[in-house]
Amino acid sequence: MLSGGLLTLAAAATVVAADTYNVPAKANPLGEPFDGFVSYSLEFSSFPDFAGNKSHPNTFSGNLLANLARLSTTPYIRVGGNTQDYALFDASQAAALIGTVDPSRSPDYPTTITIGPAYFESYATWPGLGVRFSHGFNMGLGGNRSAGWQTLLDTVPLACRALKGKTYTWEYGNEPDLFSTSAQGPVRPPTWNESTYVEQWLNATRHIRESVRKNCHGTASPRFMAPSNAGVSNHLKATKMWPAGLNQDNDIELFSTHNYISGATSPGVTLQGTLMNHTKTMLSVDAHTKEYDAIFPGARAAGGKGSDKTPPLIFGETNSLYNQGKPGLSNSFGAALWGVDFNLYSASVGFKRVHMHQGTNYRYQAWQPVTTDLDVVGTKAPYYGSVAVAAMVRPVKKNTPVSISAIPLGSDSAEAAYAAHFHPAGRKNRDESRLARVMVINLHGYNTTVGGAGLEPVLNPPARMSRTYTFAVGGAGVKDGARVGVQRLLANGSDAITGITFDGWSYNWDLDHGKPVRLHNVTVGETVKVKGGQVSVDVPDSSAVMLSFGNC
């Protein structure tokens, strides 16, 4: 039986009263995300699985994307990742993609790949959703093998034709800062540096621009996201790429960086200590804003909207644990809660879009798109984190976006809270703002399975603790007596891998192929009342609650 709402609260061992926390009175100028803030990065070799083709479109993926579009705005899809830099083109190949897995290089994705013209059919499978894409071109083999360069020349026309009217940007190369040190095999010499990277980048992006001009008449001149680095402390650094002239053509429209909190096999990785840890999340995200500020001083403080020379900041690829995640951690409800915290904190410090990465059979994926010999088709726990974030960042109405602020909760790393404000006059009056929503995330672990692995249930699990959070909202313009809607993100525990709901909705494949299904054994329709300028809500350990004010 699923636990939820008042049912969960009634089973709590102890209700702990917390302090009263002040909600910011005004909108955070850094925290206004772009449309499609909740977005995805799909592994290049997995894209045909996630999207299907013209004759067999993947309607399950389409249903899950449509859910997010209805809740907020349509996700943007980045097609790329490590395998974009292994893919070579074969014009005579009938199959969309043929890949060979070498377990010594990676057991999770092919490292020898050829794609045929049919690969580009996958961009046409979700026509009614208005999805916009980026396509990742092969830089890894494009700079040191003739076949790699020829692949670029051959595929640019195919990509621009397939993506006409559907492109949000282009990408040349994935994680070039690892090209000379990659565990899957270096594709550049130890002398690889920022100047050489910039030289190769400019040469190729100019060829891409010229090819689009010749082959796709009426298509806007390509613009790019870059540098798509794996991190801030690797062999090549963005702080040296920009001074070396990376954007001298003024064609980079998004500053894309990648992030993983830790690695699947890194020592000491745990659900509570690594993912359900707000302090660790903040430190990880803040390293990227520090890098961005060093390159573009003042850009975030000015709202981060960007220009030719100051592209706005996004996570072009991110997820919980690199090396495709760890079972029992990355596929758990705790990882979904981490995803809510990670996304909302990123929004609060100026990230304009977050692309959660996934691939076929990956442990951290939001859904498994097809059945394989390793996994069955289905909705995974992290998808519910995406749903909760989409609900929190959705515009109040058309052309009225929200701005996300962090609400400090003291020194406890196992909890976090955020506010969403909006400008009632839209963008016409940026001085006045009102509170739309508050999200509180209780990251204290609560496990109901042996070893917390989400598999064998504990016969008599301990009672679940609940904590009361009180927020002072009078200063944010909320009046006494106002009824506040309560929507809960719930599962049986942080180690749960199934039985997850948001506001009583399930998006399981088994129920209706990912379309929303309201479950009747989960309490919904809760409200709380504002009294003395404050609102209180009980939040069980390992769950999250969104409070909605007015009709927001």
Could you tell me which residue, 548 or 450, shows the higher pLDDT?
A: 548
Q: Which of 342, 231, 339, 242 is CA-nearest to residue 288? A: 231
Q: What's this model's pTM, rounded to 2 decimal places?
A: 0.95
Tokens of 237: 């650094």
Give yes or no: residues 413 and 379 share one domain: no
Asked if 479 and 365 sit in the same domain, the reply is no
Q: Give the pLDDT of residue 380.
A: 98
Residue 427 — very low, low, confident or very high, per pLDDT cuts 50/70/90? low
Give the CA distances from residue 476 to residues 272, 420, 439, in Å, rounded to whole numbers and listed in that order. 33, 11, 15
Q: Final residue of a domain: which of 393, 428, 456? A: 393
Per the domain annotation, does 2 fall within a domain? no
pLDDT at 6 exceeding the cut of 50: no
Q: Where residue 497 sits, what CATH number does that domain have?
A: 2.60.40
Cβ(348)–Cβ(282) below 8 Å? no
Is the pLDDT reported for residue 195 higher than 70? yes
Q: In the predicted model, what is the mean pLDDT of residues 6-19? A: 58
State mean pLDDT over 65-87.
97
DSSP 183-218: TT--SS-TT--HHHHHHHHHHHHHHHHHHHHHHSTT
Q: How sure is the predictor about 9, in pLDDT bands with cuts at 50, 70 and 90?
A: very low
Q: How confident is the model at residue 3 (pLDDT cuts 50, 70, 90)?
A: very low
Which among 422, 461, 419, 388 has a CA at the least distance from the CA of 21?
Answer: 419
What pLDDT was estimated at residue 197? 97
Statement to judge: residues 53 and 176 lie in one domain: yes
Res 532 pLDDT > 70: yes
Tell me what the mean pLDDT of segment 500-517 comes to.
98
Return the higher-pLDDT residue of 445 and 308. 445
- Separation CA 56–CA 331 (nearest Å): 27
DSSP 39-102: EEEEEGGGHHHHHB-SSSB-HHHHHHHHHHHHHSSPPEEEEESGGGGTEEE-TT--SSEEEE--
* Domain shared by 379 and 430, yes or no: no
Please identify every residue annotated as catalytic.
194, 317
- If asked whether residues 414 and 360 sit together in one domain, one would say no
- Among residues 364, 393, 422, the one where a domain terminates is 393
pLDDT of residue 454 exceeding 70, the answer is no
In a domain, 27, yes or no: no
Q: Which CATH number covers residue 327?
A: 3.20.20.80
Query: CA 480 to CA 66: how far, in whole Å?
Result: 37
Residue from 270, 367, 276, 382 nearest 333 by CA: 382
166, 77: one domain: yes
pLDDT (0 to 100) of residue 239:
98
Residue 406 is predicted with a pLDDT of 98
Instruction: Tell me which of 75-84, 214-223, 244-253, 512-521 is least confident.
Output: 214-223
d(CA 497, CA 513) in angstroms, rounded, equals 18
In this structure, are 191 and 43 located in the same domain? yes
Residue 89 has pLDDT above 90, yes or no: yes
Q: Can you tell me the mean pLDDT for 437-441?
A: 98
User: 25 in a domain, yes or no?
Assistant: no
| Per-residue pLDDT reduced to its tens digit, 92-147 | 999 999 999 999 999 999 999 999 999 999 999 998 999 999 999 999 998 768 99
Q: Are 136 and 220 in contact (CB under 8 A)?
A: no
What does the alpha-carbon distance between residue 285 and residue 290 come to, in Å, rounded to a whole number?
A: 9
**What is the overall mean pLDDT for the chain?**
93
> CA angle, corner 481, sides to 477 and 485, nearest 5?
80
Element spanning 239, H or E? helix 238-241
pLDDT in tens, 278-297: 999 999 999 999 999 999 99
Give strand pairing partners of 547.
Answer: 438, 486
Q: In this structure, is residue 267 part of a structural domain?
A: yes
Strands 132-137 and 501-502 come out as unpaired
Domain shared by 351 and 415, yes or no = no
Residue 56, token pair as written in the block: 């067999």
Same domain for 148 and 266: yes
CB 48 within 8 A of CB 96: yes
Query: Is there a single domain that holds both residue 322 and residue 423?
Result: no
Mean pLDDT of 67-82: 97
User: Residues 413, 363: one domain?
Assistant: no
* Confidence band, pLDDT 50/70/90 cuts, at residue 5: very low
pLDDT in tens, 198-207: 999 999 999 9
Q: Has residue 7 been placed in a domain?
A: no
Q: In the structure, what pLDDT confidence band is assigned to residue 445 with cuts at 50, 70 and 90?
A: very high
Mean pLDDT of the 338-343 span: 98
Print the domain residue range for 88. 38-393
Peptide linkage before 227 cis (omega within 30 of 0):
yes
Number of domains in the chain: 2
Decide if pLDDT at 470 tops 90: yes
Residue 384 within a domain: yes
CA of 251: how far to CAs of 85, 202, 467, 481, in Å?
Answer: 21, 10, 49, 52
* DSSP run (H or E) holding 150: helix 146-162
Look up residue 25 and give its two tokens: 């009175």
Q: What is the mean pLDDT of residues 460-478?
A: 91
Query: Is residue 14 one of the residues assigned to a domain?
Result: no
Percent of the chain having pLDDT more than 90? 85
For residues 135 and 112, what is the distance between their CA atoms, to the nearest angstrom? 19
At 550 the pLDDT is 87
Residue 152 lies in a domain: yes
Our CA angle for 384, 340, 283, nearest 5°, is 150
**pLDDT per residue as tens digits for the range 373-423:** 999 999 999 999 999 999 999 999 888 999 999 999 988 899 999 999 999
Q: What are phi and psi of 452, to 5 degrees?
A: 65, 25
Residues 326 and 442 in one domain: no
12 pLDDT above the threshold of 90 = no
Beta-bridge partner residues of 539 = 467
